[in-house]
Structure 1
Amino acid sequence: MKIFRLILFILHLGILFLLLGTLLNAYVPPKIFPWFNLLSLGFPVLMISYIILTVFWVFSWKKRAFVFMFMGLAFINPVKRWVNYSSPKNGDSEIKVVSFNTRANSGRVEEIGAYLKSQNADVIFLQEDSGASYEFEGYQKTNPAGGFAILTRYKIISQKAIDPQDENIRVPGLQADIEINGRVYRFIDVYLHPFRFDKDMVRLNGNTDANEQKVKDVVKRLIPTFKKHQEQINFIRQSVENSPYPVILAGDFNSVPNSYEYYHLSDGLEDAFLAAGKGSATSFHDYKFPIRIDYVFSSKSLKAISYEVDRSIHISDHYPVIVKLFREGK
């Protein structure tokens, strides 16, 4: 029994250090050490394992349980980025936004158009937009750029693609300054470089050699993409930091919470899910694994009063994210 507990103790310590490694994504970029970013993909499994082992020590009446419980406090916010329960928020919505990766419209333009129209949103962020002509009375559409589009009922002051002017770096976003009720806001639609996996690439079977090769192939695709994301984020951050207006940044980051992408795109902004979300934030449903890769961030002068992942809609491999915000002060 002592040997068994020793093995579990070593395993628990190992999981703790791996979890701490995910926190280092706030400081260590993928071009220097991409493996911390890789760990962020396994955060839910690592965290569940950590909790189960902690509970085991509690029921075993071991003092080490208190140490692991104390260390677990470091992961409260990282866990809330996946699963959260916020208290009800009061206030009248000033801006309603919808962010939706339409998967190049999935051959269902009419359904997508009808859904988006029914939301009566002030601003709609689209990713993987095929340029389909959605007919919304009273809405204008920004010029699509690399699969992006922003639709709004309000006056567009200016718009531009966030273009790195480098053929090796994919356009990561679309920027539009929009006047709403006499106030101007900068809306940034984000779509980071996709991994382009299909289900067969990540589905393991009983063949050990084949599974090992699949894991190697996945890692070979993940790490270069992390590095591309780092380059794309630099250009998005310029758009955020140079904005004279409050910012609302939303889209498909192709990155999970606690990743390098999450930490650096959210820098100085607030995650609407942390402020107003309830339950799971999982937004990508094509795999049977909890994956949150769609986000809405805003300047701190804007407060989220509701956050919804609309799981009633299955017209894409992503669920739409719907957020209502209001602006504090004048």
Structure 2
Amino acid sequence: MAISIIRKITKWVFLSLNILCCLLFLLSCLSLYISPAEWAPVGFLALTVPYLVIILFFYIIFWLIAKPKMAIISAVVLAIGWKQVVVIAAWHPAAGFKEVKAPTSIRIVSWNVRGLYGISTNFYTQQRNRKEIADLINKSGADVVCLQEFNNIFAKEDPNYNNIGLFTKTYPYYYFSKDFKNDQGTYYSGVIIFSRYKILNEERIAYKGKNPESLIRADLLAGNDTITVFTTHLQSFAFSKEDYRNIEKIKQTDDEVLEASENIYTKMKGAFYNRADQAQTVKNTIAGSTHPSVICGDFNDVPNSYTYFHIRGERQDAFLKSSFGIGRTFNALAPTLRIDYILPDNNFEVKQFELVDEGLSDHHLLMADLSLKK
């Protein structure tokens, strides 16, 4: 009798948790259609999708062993949210990367370089870091390089501060957004496009609000073809070192987390709201491109988010097309944070893709070889 009751309770608990996970996953699927500016929870739920999918697959296996008919619940829910499932990971285990690209390919690099100085505050370490970043890019064989969180000091002739000069021998053409600047107008930071190809036209589209960041566009003459490259850095959570420490406390269920949790929640909610607005600007702008185009950059949002789906639309995701695994691009917080992207339109064929992590930034370098379809 007692064993029977325990079995019933256990079954009820497992089923209840299964249904809860199903509901949370279905709610997360709303991020395809609902902006976090309209309903903030979809922004947070998008971050949980990889974990919910793993749990639901576990339930399918569990119920197939314990009671096969019950496995239908999780299977149907995953089928409903299949668009959320397929963007979590790439499934090309045989995909490799050839350093020497095909003559007809266009190699694009996108990288959040964290100012080029890395995480060290030591001047000599910073100088070594920026030169290593430049060497890695200059030797990559890339034709177009899009960098986020790039800075340059124009007033000093000292080569220790001329970051643009590290690249111009390899990439004679560039367009710099100059989003942030100091009062003297000597220091600038933002996103930049370097190119071996001549820049025919360029444009900076500023985002609304207090954030001075922007989306930039460059029309490039690639052989006999004109292509358009966009790059941007969308609103981050702007976590401080203290916030990162507090997140670790929350993970460890530290008692002193209430105030920290509220502060982190407020920052995340604000970032979701701003990114949704920025994503709309990006979507509208790239939709007006009259040439084959690629949008790349640091979106600061996962592939299960409104930001990703809204910007991507019908575009290809170079990582999903030619890589394998989850494809983490940000080194902190969680192993599922793929927040940097290269998204070519359907005028291109993705030949190969690679993620590179040399420990020079808190983000990984993204590199893709694309070819124009004839």
Deviation for aligned residue 1:257:
1.0
Tell me if the contact between 1:125 and 1:151 (Cα under 8 Å) persists in the aligned partners.
yes
Deviation for aligned residue 1:232:
1.2
Equivalent position amino acid for 2:134 in 1 = G
Name whichever of 133-142 and 272-281 sits farther off.
Answer: 133-142
- Alignment equivalent of 1:201, drawn from 246, 250, 255: 246
- Alignment equivalent of 2:178, drawn from 133, 145, 158: 145
Q: Which residue of 1 aligns with 2:110?
A: 99
1:259 correspondence with 2:299: no
Q: Which residue of 2 aligns with 1:135?
A: 167
- Alignment equivalent of 1:162, drawn from 202, 205, 216: 205
Deviation for aligned residue 1:119:
0.4
Tell me if the contact between 2:177 and 2:214 (Cα under 8 Å) persists in the aligned partners.
no
Name whichever of 130-139 and 44-53 sits farther off.
Answer: 130-139
Q: Which residue of 2 aligns with 1:214?
A: 260
Q: Which residue of 1 aligns with 2:146?
A: 125
Supply the distance in 1 between the matched residues of 2:364 and 2:86 (Cα, whole angstroms): 19
Deviation for aligned residue 1:247:
1.2
Q: Which residue of 2 aligns with 1:235?
A: 281
Deviation for aligned residue 1:172:
3.0
SS at match of 2:362: coil
SS at match of 1:283: coil
SS at match of 2:294: strand
Q: Which residue of 2 aligns with 1:177?
A: 219
SS at match of 1:270: coil
Supply the distance in 2 between the matched residues of 1:170 and 1:55 (Cα, whole angstroms): 49
Equivalent position amino acid for 1:325 in 2 = L
Equivalent position amino acid for 1:142 in 2 = Y
Tell me if the contact between 1:170 and 1:193 (Cα under 8 Å) persists in the aligned partners.
no
1:314-329 maps to which residues of 2 (within 5 A)? Answer: 314-329=359-374
Supply the distance in 1 between the matched residues of 2:287 and 2:223 (Cα, whole angstroms): 23
Supply the distance in 2 between the matched residues of 1:12 and 1:327 (Cα, whole angstroms): 46
Equivalent position amino acid for 2:246 in 1 = M
Supply the distance in 2 between the matched residues of 1:304 and 1:37 (Cα, whole angstroms): 29
Deviation for aligned residue 1:72:
2.0
Equivalent position amino acid for 2:228 in 1 = R
Query: CA-to-partner distance for each residue in 1:10-44, whole Å, 9 max, x for gaps?
Result: 11111111111222112111221011111011112
TM-score under structure 2 length normalisation: 0.82
Query: CA-to-partner distance for each residue in 1:150-174, whole Å, 9 max, x for gaps?
Result: 111001011121114x453432321
SS at match of 1:148: strand
For structure 2, the 5+ residue unaligned runs are: 1-6, 119-125, 153-162, 180-189
Equivalent position amino acid for 1:78 in 2 = Q
Name whichever of 95-104 and 59-68 sits farther off.
Answer: 59-68
Q: Which residue of 2 aligns with 1:287?
A: 333
Q: Which residue of 1 aligns with 2:56?
A: 50
Alpha carbons of structure 1 residues 267 and 145: separation in structure 2 relative to 1, 3 Å: farther
SS at match of 2:150: coil
Deviation for aligned residue 1:66:
2.8
Alpha carbons of structure 1 residues 280 and 167: separation in structure 2 relative to 1, 3 Å: closer
Q: Which residue of 1 aligns with 2:136?
A: 115
Identity %: 23
TM-score under structure 1 length normalisation: 0.92
Alpha carbons of structure 1 residues 54 and 88: separation in structure 2 relative to 1, 3 Å: same
Equivalent position amino acid for 1:7 in 2 = V
SS at match of 1:324: strand
Q: Which residue of 2 aligns with 1:302?
A: 348
SS at match of 2:139: helix
Query: CA-to-partner distance for each residue in 1:206-250, whole Å, 9 max, x for gaps?
Result: 564423333322211111111111221222122201111111000
Deviation for aligned residue 1:75:
4.2
Supply the distance in 2 between the matched residues of 1:153 and 1:245 (Cα, whole angstroms): 18
1:78 correspondence with 2:124: no
For structure 1, the 5+ residue unaligned runs are: none
Equivalent position amino acid for 2:74 in 1 = F
Q: Which residue of 2 aligns with 1:224?
A: 270
Supply the distance in 1 between the matched residues of 2:260 and 2:13 (Cα, whole angstroms): 29
Tell me if the contact between 1:81 and 1:281 (Cα under 8 Å) persists in the aligned partners.
no
